[in-house]
Each structure stands twice: as structure tokens, then as C-alpha cells.
Amino acid sequence: MTTTHPGRAVTTGHVHAPPRRVRARPEAVLALIAAGAVAVIGMWWAGTPGIAGPGEYLANAGRVTGLLAGYAIAVLLALMARIPALERGVGSDRLARWHSTGGRYVVGLSVAHMLLIIWGYALTDRTGVVSETVTLNLTYPDVLKATVALLLLVGVGVVSARRIRPKLRYETWFHLHFYTYLAAWLAFGHQLATGAEFAVAPVARTSWYVLYLGVAALLVWYRLLTPARLAVRHRLRVSRVVPETPGVVSVYVTGRRLDRLRAEPGQFFRWRFLTRDLWWSPNPYSLSAPPGTGELRITVKDLGDQSRSLARLRPGTRVIAEGPYGAFTVKSRRARKVLLVAGGVGITPLRALFESVPAAPGDLTLLYRVRDERDLVFRAELEEITAARGATLHYCVGPRSLIGDPFTPATLAGLVPDLADHEAYVCGPAEMTSAVISALRAAGVPRSRVHHESFEF
């Protein structure tokens, strides 16, 4: 069932002018990472005068993969350091995808490094692989630490596998990833102690120190000190908790000088509510209304774990918010017309954009998909905004078995005139988001004008 609510052609409504802030371009970040990898290979080349025999070829292949693994783990940690320019320019979901892909490379390179080194040394020493493994771990400096680091990386990789990850609580998955820091520290010591490149080249050794200490400084500053500084400055507290629909609540947070956060509609914070059960785990939630000078609002669906506990928050509860993060904003907009497509509780960042994105009457459309009419969050607010801004609002309600596929190119084109001329923002369950993006692309919307952000871990 589809219900349409066209708005009146008036121009009232809140329009948020986002501030100018530094945003890293994804292509530039990838180019920088690639340049670093080339420099690492060059460092190996400069420190390798010659190779003779199969044992040395294998051992040097192990050296290269080890250096690249060490470089890659530093890059992974930097991507997750919550550097504002990366979070705003690249986007948290894209950073998470890069991190996930890079993690597989790190594990693969680390395993290849171990196997190639053992095999190469065994051929050179004319011993067995098992004997060489024991010798390396017990007699070479810091090799045993490297073995522990490899096991930790493989363990984190296993729990991050697609078949295992959905079975874990977010908090469990989140805290298991802290072992990556321990693995990086162990690997760092191993490479400096046994790497031939660092023993003969002070410049290489210094570069490695700068890389790792620089990443450590970013982690400490942005993941520890910055949240603490913001907590002291803004003194955030829960003001009230309001039920929206069954299983969905809005949490209102007040504080001092919230305008200095410079948050934009469509962005999110990582929220840490300082209660006995919730203080230890930050969770990402989008702003569900344009940020005001004295109040922020998030809206959360009961999906278990922390989200269920938010409905029981008491007014006055202290809050630490890390952010704002995310590139799901009007900064990425290029077209005059705007289409917002929401599924379920994915309406939260789009609700903020629907009120604030600059658009003339008739140029703004929101499609909102839910399985049951009781799941329509912000219904009264959305219809009020629709009327005030001269926008168009479509509800798509009902199970797919009854209404069919609501996101075909033909369906979208029928609902949204001149669909290919729109800038599209999509937020919802992963399956729905994928279907919408495919339909938009098939309908002629350029890839550069389709934006989405996901918090799936």
C-alpha cells in the first residue's frame, strides 16, 4: 500500500547552513595509502643487496609480506582513529568497509609472512619446517611475540567473518577488536628487533617509529582525549525519553554551547550513557532532528543489548558523545532536486535532512518504507514538514508478500518524476538499501549522486 502526502507550495521551514570544515577526499586517501605501500616496498628493495637461491627468495618474499602487513595494520588503526576529516569526507561506513577489507589483507599477509619465512629459513639451514618453527620462536628475538600477534589477528579476523559476526553482540565484537592494538604493539617490536631493513638503515627505522607513534598519537587524541574534553565542555545530560512507536524511543540530550559541536543534519555521534550498564560501550546513533543550540535528539529502536536499555534512561543521566561523524550530509549534494528513501528506523537521519536540506517547493521527496503502519516513526512530524516545505511524502506500508517489490526502477520512476535528475539519500536495512541503490542506478541516477550510510558492524 502506498499513501501519498503532497505538501503545499510554500517556502517556510528550517534550513540549516552547514559550516565549512576540512573533509578528506576518498580518492586522495586511497592514493596516500597506496603511496605508503610503494614506499614500504622501496624500503625493502633498498635494504636487499642481492638474492641467491630458493631459500633467500622465499625469505625475502616473507620480508616483503611482513613489512606490508606491518604497514597495513598501522593504516587500519588510523582509519578507525575517528579523525574528523576522514569521518566527514570519506564517511564512517566507507571507512568501516575499507577497514574490513584491509583486515583480510593484514591477516593474509601476516600468515604468508610466517609461512614464507619458515620455509625459506628451513631451506637455507637444511632443516625441517617444524624444527625451524621451534628454532625461530625460541631463539630469535621477539619472534614468539610475533606469533602471538598473528594468533590475535587471526582470531579477530574469524569473529569478523560474515557468518560469525551477526551472531555476536555489538559490544562483544567491539571489545574483541581491542586485541588489534596488542597485536600491533607486539608486531612492532618484532619488526624492529629482527627486520634487516631497520638494522642497517636508520632512516627506515625512524620512519617506522614515526608511523606507529603517529598513529598511536591519533588514537589517544581522538578516541580518548577529545571525548573527555568534549564531555567537560558540553556537560551533556539526558533531559527526557519519549516513546515514538512500539519499541522505538527518542532520547533528548541537553548541554552547554552545543552549537560549538558544529553538527550537521545526517551526521551521528557515538553515545556513551554513564549508567552502570551502559558506560563501557559507545554506540553510534544518528541525530533524528536538526541540531539545536541547546538540545540534541536521537531515536533508537529496540534491537536488544544497549538499545533496549535506553528506554529506561532517567533524566539527568550524564552522557559522553563522540563526534559528530559521517558524510551523509548536504555537503555531498550536487543536484537541485532531492530524494530521500528510508526503511524502518533508518528514517532517523533522513528525518533531520527532510526538515533542513535546502530545496524549493516540489524539489524534495521522501519515500518511507515500513512493514506495518504502527512502525511509522515521526508520522505527525513528517506530515507537518511536508506541508510546511511544499515537499512530497510517500508511505509504502505492508509486507513484501502482499505488496510485491516496492523498489523497482519503474516503481521509483512512477513515484518520483524526473528521477534521474535527483540527488538520492538512502538509509535502511542492508537488503533494502542494496535494492534501492540498484534500482536508482538502473533508473539513470549517477552513482556519484546516490548516498548511503550504514552502521552495521
Q: Where are the beta strands (DSSP E) in 66-206?
A: none
Residue 20 has pLDDT above 90, yes or no: no
pLDDT band (50, 70, 90) for residue 165 = low
Residue 168 has pLDDT above 70, yes or no: no
Domain boundaries, the chain: 2-17+329-452, 26-224, 235-325
Cis omega before residue 399 (within 30°)? no
**294 — alpha (psi -120 to 50), left (phi > 0) or beta?**
alpha
- The pLDDT assigned to 96 comes to 82
What gap in Å lies between CA 378 and CA 382, rounded to an integer?
Answer: 6
Is residue 280 within 8 Å of residue 268, measured between CB atoms?
no
- The pLDDT assigned to 16 comes to 43
Residue 151 has pLDDT above 90, yes or no: no
- The pLDDT assigned to 457 comes to 45
What gap in Å lies between CA 375 and CA 372, rounded to an integer?
Answer: 5
Query: Strand 392-397 vs strand 364-370: parallel, antiparallel, or unpaired?
Result: parallel
What gap in Å lies between CA 200 and CA 179, rounded to an integer?
Answer: 31
- The pLDDT assigned to 186 comes to 82
pLDDT band (50, 70, 90) for residue 14 = very low
pLDDT band (50, 70, 90) for residue 198 = confident
Residue-averaged pLDDT of the chain = 86
pLDDT tens digit sequence for 34-71: 999 999 999 888 878 778 788 889 988 998 999 999 99
Among 122, 147, 111, 131, which Cα is nearest to 56's?
Answer: 122
pLDDT (mean) for 382-405: 89
Place of cell 609461512: 115
Listed range (147-151, 228-232, 317-321) with the worst mean pLDDT: 147-151
**Residue 6 is placed in which grid cell?**
503532497
pLDDT tens digit sequence for 288-335: 999 987 899 999 988 766 677 888 899 999 999 998 988 888 887 889
Q: Where are the beta strands (DSSP E) in 61-208?
A: none
Residue 158 has pLDDT above 90, yes or no: no
- The pLDDT assigned to 348 comes to 94
Query: What pTM did the predictor assign?
Result: 0.78
- The pLDDT assigned to 171 comes to 64
Which one is the CATH code of 2-17+329-452: 3.40.50.80, 3.30.1360.170, 3.40.50.2300, 3.30.200.20? Answer: 3.40.50.80
pLDDT (mean) for 436-445: 93
Residue 146 has pLDDT above 90, yes or no: no
Among 456, 299, 291, 457, which Cα is nearest to 375's?
Answer: 299
- The pLDDT assigned to 455 comes to 56
What gap in Å lies between CA 77 and CA 184, rounded to an integer?
Answer: 9
Percent over 70 (pLDDT), the chain: 91
pLDDT (mean) for 395-415: 86
Phi, psi of 454 (to 5 degrees): -130, 145
pLDDT tens digit sequence for 74-103: 999 999 888 988 888 888 878 888 888 888
Residue 180 has pLDDT above 60, yes or no: yes
Listed range (2-11, 81-90, 219-228, 309-318) with the worst mean pLDDT: 2-11
- The pLDDT assigned to 11 comes to 34
Phi, psi of 439 (to 5 degrees): -65, -40
What gap in Å lies between CA 362 and CA 365, rounded to an integer?
Answer: 8
Is residue 424 within 8 Å of residue 341, measured between CB atoms?
yes
Residue 426 has pLDDT above 80, yes or no: yes
CATH architecture classification, 235-325 = Beta Barrel (2.40)
Is residue 306 within 8 Å of residue 330, measured between CB atoms?
no
Residue 3 has pLDDT above 60, yes or no: no
Residue 73 has pLDDT above 70, yes or no: yes
